[in-house]
Structure 1
Amino acid sequence: MLKFLKRSAKGVTAPHDKPTATMETVRMPVAKQVIIPMSMHIGAPAEPVVQKGDTVLVGTLIGKAGGFVSANIYSSVSGTVKEIIGGFRMVNGAVCKAVVIDTDGNQTPDPSCVPPEVNDKKSLLAAIQACGLVGVGGAGFPTHVKLAADTIDTLIINGAECEPYLSTDTREMLECSDTILSGISAVMKHCAIGHCIIGIEGNKPECIKLLTSLTKDMPGVEVKELPMRYPQGAEKTLIETCTGREVPQLTAAGKPGLPADCGCVIMNVTSVSTLGKFLKTGMPLTVKRLTVEGDAIAKPQNIEVPIGTLYRDVIEACGGIKENVELGKVIFGGPMMGGAAPGVDFPVLKQNNGLILFSKEKAAIPEPGPCIRCGRCITACPMGLEPVHIAEAFEHKDYEALDKYNVDLCVACGSCTYACPAKRLISQNTTLAKAWYLKTKKEKAGK
């Protein structure tokens, strides 16, 4: 492998393009029905604990975590369970169970939702697990699992929000700074973490100013202005920028390196704020703030919706599709790392933070040209990968070559595709190569 610049200096300069950043969050009227999938996190799906005809309230447990690496799921509405779907297909093709609830419009809270008693690390992790908290910035990794490590000396709060269009974390910092700080305090105190860095990209000066002011008397807490470079919020990039440390590719045991292996744990700014809210109110994770944007939506805005609300109901609440505009693509998440939904009959998940709607004209994909070996994809990759060689290895289904070029380190940030002058679908191809490599690796290990 060649020597590369450090991760924090790589990536691309994606447009800021966040007109909703100044728009205060509005609360969406409750839809007539929600569909709440039992797999909204990395790990084992939750198992439904309600049946058809059951009455549920906001905060009622409807899905019990299926293991340690899993998360509880709660009703986001009050109403009646209409059915349990056995094979609900998600937008990524995965199939899981889902609870369908007809709402009563009252949003009556479950009286069992009371603030938890937390006095040590064990009780904090139990509270986090009870909250159903996962990384709400996109990955959906159960939070209690990442905080269980005993090797952590630095808590990093990810306020980079480096994707174009998205501004939900910006609004969390401006509207909910009190619960961000109370969440940070609880984690630092009960997990015995002495240092916290709140990383915010420099294009959010109002957030930097506010949190710097509020944390000036908090021992061990600092706000760090991050370079405006996508993907600044990527896990390994963020750690290197904030601390100068590097997550090892492999541990001494031969396992892939994690942030905890270099003494760090990362929490999204909205995740730590959600923890602060739960510790204060006892209400688990039931709502999500979305940035609804794109040239096809009539009224772009930041909107808070009950988890399980269908995209079509969110779109209607935002004024619908513009007149004389043909909808071309619906993206859940940001335009760089988000996924394209085949339609609008899909529910908002815990880890969704955006709904981007493009017209048919803007969604059109340019015809890719031939690779000219310019190397821009290599220069852009924050992981130091060589997409050109990965593409060649994947074309020949060369497992050893893909292993040599570390295809499994790809984070699917899309920087390579963005940087490519020939408009080749490099990130998509690398994602397929990574999937084939991991499948083959598993098959080899099973022999």
Structure 2
Amino acid sequence: MGLATFIGGIHPFEGKELSEDKPIQVLPPLAGEEMVFPLSQHIGAPARPLVKKGDQVLKGQMIAEAGGFISANVICSVSGVVKGIEPRLAANGAMVDSIIVENDGEDRAVDGFGEHRDCTKLSKEEIRDMIKGAGIVGLGGAGFPTHVKLTPKDEAAIDHVIVNGAECEPYLTSDYRLMMEQPEKIIGGLKVILQLFDNAKGVIGIENNKPEAIKKLTEMVKDEPRIEVCPLLTKYPQGGERTLIYAVTKREINSSMLPADAGCVVDNIDTVVSIYNAVCESTPLIRKIITVTGDAVANPQNYEVRLGTSYNRLIEAAGGFKTEPEKMISGGPMMGQALFSTNFPVAKTSSALTCFTKDEVKAQAPTPCIRCGRCVDVCPEHLVPPLMMKAASAEDLDRFQSLNGMECVECGCCAFACPAKRPLTQAFKEMRKAVAASRRK
């Protein structure tokens, strides 16, 4: 039987060897350090501040509460004093209202922080409340509030809880290091989720370029009747939600559907670890594992860092730049966000800081389409990018929609495969934004 996979996809240079064999380093916060907590670190309504300037706060204290059903709490990662609430730069280039806390260096925590709890005795409602209280969202990049994802309309219809260990984005290795260093928390967190879904089995999907992780987790779940490891063919974007569901279950979903409509719940490796920390160890989401990598970085490394820490601190910890970077990306090279500054905080949806030299990012001018069809072959959503590009060039929103352009997941496969170097993905992103804006009118 072959490895689980999907139709389409590409094989970009992986770049994971820069950091994959280096254990996670804990980067503690510094006394006097300014910690910045954006109120929008998730999909949905911004969180509402619960503190004001001058307030003393503790590690593990909720400083902003969910601002609606689709929203998430914000938890302070240090003890200190609130210096203000003001707009600050986020990784997407936007100014976002943020709570600024000056770390007092004492690391004082709320009562009960870090206490072990027997999670097997908890009710489903208690588990969901703890996940919500901890401020957990999808940590793979999307940032959808996890307590909402784990509350589908038909709980009994969920028959697959899929843990996304594909980590198909080039250069990123934080999930791999978690699989190697904290597998017991991954399994423990998955067991907590399975307590919510009586009819489900747990599947940990891991690409076959991570044989040690597959071996380790397979051995650890051999006596778990409801959990299995599913080796996946290494191919980008195997870690996409739709492609992963298809690879594991052969069920297809589109943009009008949720994974729950296909009987699935999908969570990222770090999300599952965070669920374990919150439910079993009374530790809310206050930290993130970040890959600092790229050929411009002196010492590529994965760091466990408190939320709110400046990315400048991560660069310093990695030894700075050995060569001036030509391009810096929040995330990976395929789906990350290009940066004009690193003066922004680590947030819940942060995953990596990838820095490239000029030699790695040589720009090539686009030329006319040669109708080779490579973009069609690699599209995981079975779209026809040349026709979509024609509609985008004409700014024809109706035509773009009729070509199922809103099914595009912006994975970048088409632009990567294009020998003419046409900016396909960029054009489709703009068209999708324009269509979404027109629908709101």
| Equivalent pair of 2:5/2:232 in contact (CA under 8 Å) | no
**What SS does the aligned partner of 2:399 have?**
helix
Q: Give the corresponding residue for 1:148.
A: 151
With 240-249 and 310-319 compared, the bigger mean Cα shift is at 240-249
Give the percent of matched residue pairs that are identical in Structure 1 and Structure 2: 42
Match of 2:234 among 204, 228, 235: 228
Q: Give the corresponding residue for 1:27.
A: 26
| Equivalent pair of 1:331/1:357 in contact (CA under 8 Å) | yes
Q: Give the corresponding residue for 1:416.
A: 414
- Aligned 1:8-87 pairs, distance under 5 A: 8-19=6-17, 20-31=19-30, 32-85=33-86, 87=87
With 182-191 and 202-211 compared, the bigger mean Cα shift is at 182-191
Q: Taking structure 1 as reference, are residues 56 and 112 closer, same or farther at Cα in structure 2, changes over 3 Å only?
A: farther
Give, in whole Å, the separation in 1 of the partners of 2:200 and 2:324: 53
* Structure 1 position 47, deviation (Å): 1.1
Q: Give the corresponding residue for 1:435.
A: 433
- Aligned 1:236-385 pairs, distance under 5 A: 236-248=242-254, 256-322=256-322, 325-385=323-383
One-letter code aligned to 2:258: L
- Is residue 141 of structure 2 the alignment partner of residue 138 of structure 1? yes
**What SS does the aligned partner of 1:303 have?**
strand
**What SS does the aligned partner of 2:6 have?**
helix
Count of aligned positions: 429
Q: Taking structure 1 as reference, are residues 18 and 7 closer, same or farther at Cα in structure 2, changes over 3 Å only?
A: closer
With 63-72 and 355-364 compared, the bigger mean Cα shift is at 355-364
One-letter code aligned to 1:119: L
One-letter code aligned to 1:136: L
Give, in whole Å, the separation in 2 of the partners of 1:129 and 1:44: 15
Give, in whole Å, the separation in 2 of the partners of 1:215 and 1:103: 41
Q: Give the corresponding residue for 2:92.
A: 92
One-letter code aligned to 1:78: S
With 113-122 and 265-274 compared, the bigger mean Cα shift is at 113-122
* Structure 1 position 436, deviation (Å): 1.0
* Structure 1 position 28, deviation (Å): 1.1
Q: Taking structure 1 as reference, are residues 283 and 221 closer, same or farther at Cα in structure 2, changes over 3 Å only?
A: same
| Equivalent pair of 2:93/2:339 in contact (CA under 8 Å) | no
Give, in whole Å, the separation in 1 of the partners of 2:147 and 2:28: 31
* Structure 1 position 92, deviation (Å): 2.0
Q: Any idea what the Cα deviations from partners look like across 1:371-417, whole Å, max 9, x if unmatched?
A: 21111111111111111111111222222211111111111111111
| Equivalent pair of 1:128/1:275 in contact (CA under 8 Å) | yes
Give, in whole Å, the separation in 2 of the partners of 1:377 and 1:260: 30
- Is residue 182 of structure 2 the alignment partner of residue 183 of structure 1? no
TM-score, structure 2 normalization? 0.94
Give, in whole Å, the separation in 2 of the partners of 1:64 and 1:168: 28
Q: Taking structure 1 as reference, are residues 298 and 70 closer, same or farther at Cα in structure 2, changes over 3 Å only?
A: same
| Equivalent pair of 1:7/1:382 in contact (CA under 8 Å) | no
| Equivalent pair of 1:202/1:225 in contact (CA under 8 Å) | yes
With 182-191 and 125-134 compared, the bigger mean Cα shift is at 182-191
Give, in whole Å, the separation in 2 of the partners of 1:49 and 1:96: 17
One-letter code aligned to 2:41: M
**What SS does the aligned partner of 1:173 have?**
helix
- Aligned 1:114-133 pairs, distance under 5 A: 114=115, 119-133=122-136
TM-score, structure 1 normalization? 0.92
| Equivalent pair of 2:160/2:265 in contact (CA under 8 Å) | yes
Q: Give the corresponding residue for 1:3.
A: none
| Equivalent pair of 1:248/1:262 in contact (CA under 8 Å) | no
| Equivalent pair of 2:254/2:407 in contact (CA under 8 Å) | no
With 39-48 and 400-409 compared, the bigger mean Cα shift is at 400-409
Q: Give the corresponding residue for 1:160.
A: 166
| Equivalent pair of 1:248/1:261 in contact (CA under 8 Å) | no
Give, in whole Å, the separation in 1 of the partners of 2:69 and 2:60: 21
**What SS does the aligned partner of 1:389 have?**
helix
One-letter code aligned to 2:47: A
Q: Give the corresponding residue for 1:391.
A: 389
| Runs ≥4 residues deviating over 6 A | none
One-letter code aligned to 1:107: D
Q: Give the corresponding residue for 2:202.
A: 196
* Structure 1 position 248, deviation (Å): 4.7
| Equivalent pair of 2:5/2:238 in contact (CA under 8 Å) | no
| Equivalent pair of 2:137/2:144 in contact (CA under 8 Å) | yes
* Structure 1 position 112, deviation (Å): 4.6
Give, in whole Å, the separation in 2 of the partners of 1:105 and 1:317: 18
**What SS does the aligned partner of 1:22 have?**
coil
Q: Taking structure 1 as reference, are residues 7 and 194 closer, same or farther at Cα in structure 2, changes over 3 Å only?
A: closer
| Equivalent pair of 2:330/2:338 in contact (CA under 8 Å) | yes
One-letter code aligned to 1:30: P
**Structure 1 unaligned residues grouped into runs of 5+:** 1-5, 250-255
Give, in whole Å, the separation in 2 of the partners of 1:224 and 1:185: 17
Q: Taking structure 1 as reference, are residues 51 and 115 closer, same or farther at Cα in structure 2, changes over 3 Å only?
A: farther
| Equivalent pair of 1:187/1:193 in contact (CA under 8 Å) | no
* Structure 1 position 271, deviation (Å): 0.6
Give, in whole Å, the separation in 2 of the partners of 1:329 and 1:442: 34
**What SS does the aligned partner of 1:190 have?**
coil
Give, in whole Å, the separation in 1 of the partners of 2:357 and 2:381: 33
Give, in whole Å, the separation in 1 of the partners of 2:84 and 2:112: 24
One-letter code aligned to 2:16: K
* Structure 1 position 91, deviation (Å): 3.0
* Structure 1 position 257, deviation (Å): 1.0
Q: Any idea what the Cα deviations from partners look like across 1:67-101, whole Å, max 9, x if unmatched?
A: 1111111111222211111x334232444310111
Give, in whole Å, the separation in 2 of the partners of 1:360 and 1:52: 43
Give, in whole Å, the separation in 2 of the partners of 1:265 and 1:350: 20
